[in-house]
Amino acid sequence: MKPAETILLDHGSGGRASQELIKNIFLAQLDNPVLACLEDSALVETGAGRLAFTTDSYVVDPIFFPGGDIGELAINGTINDLAMRGAKPLCLSLGLILEEGFPLADLQRVIASVRTACNRADVPVVTGDTKVVPRGKGDKIFINTSGIGLVDPGLDISSRNAGPGDMIILSGSMGDHGITILTQRAGISLQGNLRSDTLALHRLVQKMLAAAPGAVHTLRDPTRGGVATSLNEIAAAAQVAVELDENQLPIKPEVGAACEILGMDPLYLANEGKCLALVAAEHADRLLALMRSLPEGADAAIIGRVTKGPAGRVRLNTAAGGSRIVQSLTGEPLPRIC
Amino acid sequence: MKPAETILLDHGSGGRASQELIKNIFLAQLDNPVLACLEDSALVETGAGRLAFTTDSYVVDPIFFPGGDIGELAINGTINDLAMRGAKPLCLSLGLILEEGFPLADLQRVIASVRTACNRADVPVVTGDTKVVPRGKGDKIFINTSGIGLVDPGLDISSRNAGPGDMIILSGSMGDHGITILTQRAGISLQGNLRSDTLALHRLVQKMLAAAPGAVHTLRDPTRGGVATSLNEIAAAAQVAVELDENQLPIKPEVGAACEILGMDPLYLANEGKCLALVAAEHADRLLALMRSLPEGADAAIIGRVTKGPAGRVRLNTAAGGSRIVQSLTGEPLPRIC
């Protein structure tokens, strides 16, 4: 296939096109061992401790949605990227790109959400920047949040550490955020309580790490591209296979209904307050019970396991008793979900 | 005056409107002692060392210009924000917001500049993120770079440390970057060699700090809002006055000519490879000589001094023998300069 010569919406959807952009342009030019890990945060040895460092831009449309807004999403999302390396979040930056004409009342509302999310998570914004672009050269507000965390010496949470026999825990229901944004954009109003799951997971993660030292091998928050894409990336990084049980996938009834209407597969929908934890089998039940005892993990479920191979393959045992391959998100432009 | 109810271009020009936005919205809601410093970088005590942390978004228009491009600008600018606290830059993040339809060849060119600037400065990009927005909802490419640096224990470079008697050194000519962008946007082609001064200053700063420990009180890179706005901010933070000598201001002839044509005052134009250093008087000549011996500071000049008061006032002794007050940039929308 001839490669695209311009940026397509698909390049921003977190699936295969995004990965090709990363490989062909970013890694091809900027390659270094830390960047090449392609984890949720970079780990940097400073001589004065180990730091986790991460960045994310938020361009979600609409900026206000049931369950949250772009400000809350930006704070929680970057905290989660730090948490997925086992880091204790230390501080955040806040970079705004505002469109001329954006109402100051909306800016106030977004920054109030930033404050609430920071206070709730106990992680401060310590530095910021604001740029303004003319009307029609941006879209209301884009937010970049970068974050720094501290990682205990010896702690090694990484996609590459997923090993055969590991059990895969998902901390709660799938697709809540993605389907909320998509129904808002489609103008669909449904019965029930569709809302974003935006939530900071650093406390949940710290409790898991403390409860079973060494048992948590891999953590990933399945945002763009969803559970399917995250597991494909993990399987490729660790050179293992993954087996999922469709019967065990936690999906809220209203999310399932909305997915049917819109023709979406919840495995590919973004989550903003969930993590995948790949853990040693002998600790899986205990960790699951711990997660379920916490509000962030009340609906956690063991959704599958890691097997030896073939490397990079994700297979789903269907509810009907069959089995199918689950690939990374491909060719579905689902941009501006986060 | 009734406050604006929407975001105006002026809110992004780095002058008084930007400062009001920071005070009325960001600090009003997110206030904490680290953020409230409003320096080029935040200083964070980690228990495992002192970190400098900074963020900047780049929305410059055009993205390619004489002397550089948005990629090089983003790397050098964030390195400079770290350097202005005396930090040794450690690593950078790279967050891209791309517009659908942006040519991949242009993305390649920008990322090649990122690489060149990183290599030249010896500071790597270790983490990144890419989002795509639909055509007409962005403008080609916006870049956020955040950065982490290490600050030696005991080092305290801050606007608040400027004291009466300090001499003010500017590391080179004023306004090169700002006027280059403005003439490009105006479609004006001039004789001479107008080009951006984009340059990383961390090595210059480290050499100054090593040459005269304790003598450098304040460092600031006068980007948006220019030398005038930076000095107003410093004078307000340190509760001192500043006196400038117009005769001593280094301005390239071609920059002066372009400023006359466009009706701009170089004191308000953005610089991207210059710093203001406020230093103890007894070390000023030696530091000036050191700066002039280095390529980054070849055109450095002592442009003025700090006096006792009135607090916050910046006064210019004009070439004609008079004197005038120099205020922060106000009401001049000069957005998308960086």
What is the predicted ipTM? Answer: 0.95
| A125/A181 same-domain check | no
Percent helix, strand, coil in chain B, to 5, is: 35, 25, 40
| B219/B142 same-domain check | no
| B200/B145 same-domain check | no
DSSP label at residue B235: H
- Minimum-distance CB partner of B97 among A35, A57, A127: A57
Does the residue B295 lie in any domain? Answer: yes
Does the residue A207 lie in any domain? Answer: yes
Cβ contacts (< 8 Å) between A151 and chain B: which residues?
A: none
Is B132 within 8 Å of A44 when comparing Cβ atoms?
no
A71-100 residue pLDDT tens: 999 999 999 999 999 999 999 999 999 999
Is the pLDDT at A235 greater than 90? The verdict is: yes
Domain termination site, one of A99, A119, A151: A151
User: What DSSP element (H or E) covers B48?
Assistant: none
- Across the range A201-215, mean pLDDT stands at 98
Q: Among B138, B2, B6, which Cα is nearest to A102's? A: B6
Is A104 within 8 Å of B5 when comparing Cβ atoms?
yes
Distance (Å, whole) CA B185 – CA A14: 35
| B138/B228 same-domain check | no
Is A132 within 8 Å of B11 when comparing Cβ atoms?
yes
Please say whether the beta carbons of A182 and A262 come within 8 A: yes
Q: Is the pTM of this model over 0.90?
A: yes
| A224/A314 same-domain check | yes
Does the residue B336 lie in any domain? Answer: no
Cβ contacts (< 8 Å) between A99 and chain B: which residues?
A: 7
- How close is the nearest chain B Cα to the Cα of A6, in Å? 4
Q: Which domain holds residue A221?
A: 159-325
| A90/A179 same-domain check | no
A138-159 residue pLDDT tens: 999 999 999 999 999 889 999 9
Per-10-residue mean pLDDT, chain B, length 338: 78 88 91 86 81 96 97 98 96 96 96 96 95 96 97 93 98 97 88 90 98 97 96 96 98 94 94 98 98 98 96 97 95 83
Is B25 within 8 Å of A56 when comparing Cβ atoms?
no
Does the residue B19 lie in any domain? Answer: no
In degrees and rounded to multiples of 5, residue A45 shows phi and psi of -85, 125
- How close is the nearest chain A Cα to the Cα of B167, in Å? 28
Say what the pLDDT of residue B44 is.
Answer: 85
- Across the range A121-140, mean pLDDT stands at 96
| A260/A194 same-domain check | yes
Is B139 within 8 Å of A144 when comparing Cβ atoms?
no
Q: Domain holding A204: CATH number?
A: 3.90.650.10
| A109/A129 same-domain check | yes
Which of B38, B57, B143 is most worth mutating to test chain A (most A CB atoms within 10 A of its CB)?
B57
Cβ contacts (< 8 Å) between A51 and chain B: which residues?
A: 51, 148
- How close is the nearest chain B Cα to the Cα of A268, in Å? 17
Domain termination site, one of B122, B151, B180: B151
Domain termination site, one of A97, A131, A151: A151
Q: Domain holding A122: CATH number?
A: 3.30.1330.10
Say what the pLDDT of residue A48 is.
Answer: 65
Is B55 within 8 Å of A94 when comparing Cβ atoms?
yes
- Minimum-distance CB partner of B59 among A107, A127, A133: A133
Cβ contacts (< 8 Å) between B133 and chain A: which residues?
A: 12, 59, 139, 142, 335-336
Cβ contacts (< 8 Å) between B26 and chain A: which residues?
A: 94, 111, 128, 130
Distance (Å, whole) CA B41 – CA A195: 36
| B130/B199 same-domain check | no
Does the residue A5 lie in any domain? Answer: no
Angle between helices A253-262 and A176-186 (to 10 degrees): 50
Say what the pLDDT of residue A4 is.
Answer: 66
| A306/A163 same-domain check | yes
> Closest residue of B to A128, CA-based?
B55
| B140/B182 same-domain check | no
Number of domains in chain B: 2
Cβ contacts (< 8 Å) between A5 and chain B: which residues?
A: 103-105
- How close is the nearest chain A Cα to the Cα of B117, in Å? 11
- The per-residue DSSP string of B240-251 comes to -EEEEEGGG---
**B46-49 long-range contacts, Cβ below 8 Å, gap at least 24?**
B46/A48, B46/A49, B46/A90, B46/A150, B47/A49, B47/A150, B48/A46, B48/A48, B48/A49, B48/A150, B49/A46, B49/A47, B49/A48, B49/A49, B49/B150
Does the residue A17 lie in any domain? Answer: no
- Minimum-distance CB partner of A132 among B7, B114, B118: B7
- How close is the nearest chain B Cα to the Cα of A152, in Å? 11
Is A95 within 8 Å of B144 when comparing Cβ atoms?
yes
Say what the pLDDT of residue A3 is.
Answer: 57
| B95/B215 same-domain check | no
3-state secondary structure chain A: CCCCCECCHHHHCCCHHHHHHHHHHHHHHHCCHHHHCCCCCEEEECCCCEEEEEEEEECCCCCEECCEEHHHHHHHHHHHHHHCCCCEEEEEEEEEEEECCCEHHHHHHHHHHHHHHHHHHCCCEEEEEEEEECCCCCCCEEEEEEEEEEECCCCCCCHHHCCCCCEEEECCCCCHHHHHHHHHHHCCCCCCCCCCCCCCCHHHHHHHHHHCCCCEEEEECCCCCHHHHHHHHHHHHHCCEEEEEHHHCCCCHHHHHHHHHHCCCHHHCCCCCCCEEEECHHHHHHHHHHHHCCHHHCCCEEEEEEECCCCCCEEEECCCCCEEECCCCCCCCCCCCC
A276-329 residue pLDDT tens: 999 999 999 999 999 999 999 999 999 999 999 899 999 999 999 999 999 999
Does the residue B285 lie in any domain? Answer: yes
Is the pLDDT at A1 greater than 50? The verdict is: no
Does the residue B10 lie in any domain? Answer: no
